[in-house]
Amino acid sequence: MVIGITNLKGGVGKTTLTLNLAVTFAHQGKRVCIVDADKNQNSMEWSGARKASLPEVIVMGCTEPRALSKLVESQKEIYDMVLIDGTPDLGEMTTRIMLASDLMLIPLLPSGHDFRSMVLLLQRFEQAKGFKPELPAYFILNKFDERLNFHADMMDLLGQYDIPILDAKVKSRIAYAQTGVSGMGVLEWTDQKAIEEIEVLAKEVLEKAAQYQLN
């Protein structure tokens, strides 16, 4: 199963969500691989800091669009879960990620700037669906705070699109930053709320995948 996690705006949590989903799946006994398609290679850097005593999460870098499809296809034969850490770029790589994926996750911050960049991504997504019409996609709201009116308004705005929003929301927690620099996931940290949050997200992602008979 291949999960592409991408958006055209940097800083929305693509890598954070990729790493934490990968760690959670690894703790469930799944064989997990991350393909880091971002030129910043943050997932690769995270992998270098990860201790060998922790459940294995293999990370491979691939910043050449034409090589991505072949790499992902080959890893599907080896790993239960292949997660693509996407790039904030409207170029060929974004299209390749979509076409290589079985399921797309689109992380968003509840802000006007993120909403505008998301519109451009959806235009590219509709183009990709011309080649892969069955490709499912879901929004994930990151750093979400239900107490803020604009965050609730953001959900209403997203409701006008055909792409549904996952019920699981990710909040702003220091645990995500701390684990991101130490080669860990929040599941391996001490913040119980963050642990529960990411477990709920991973469970919902797998449930959505099962609906499309992807896992």
Predicted confidence at residue 21, as pLDDT, reads: 98
The 10s digit of each residue's pLDDT in 45-96 is: 999 999 999 999 999 999 999 999 999 999 999 999 999 999 877 678 988 9
**Residue count (the chain):** 215
Q: From residue 194, how far is each of 9, 45, 46, 187, 202 by CA, in Å?
A: 24, 22, 19, 8, 12
Nearest to 170 by CA among 37, 2, 28, 13: 13
Over range 117-132, report the average pLDDT.
77
**What is the fold, at CATH topology level, of the domain defined by 2-211?**
Rossmann fold (3.40.50)
pLDDT digits (tens, 9 = 90+) for 96-116: 999 999 999 998 876 666 666
- pLDDT tens-digit series, residues 6-58: 886 667 789 999 999 999 999 999 999 999 999 999 999 999 999 999 999 99
Q: Are the C-beta atoms of 47 and 183 separated by less than 8 Å?
A: yes
Nearest 5°: the CA angle 196, 200, 203 is 135
DSSP one-letter code for 187: G
Place of tokens 């709920």: 200
Distance CA 168, CA 43 (A): 23
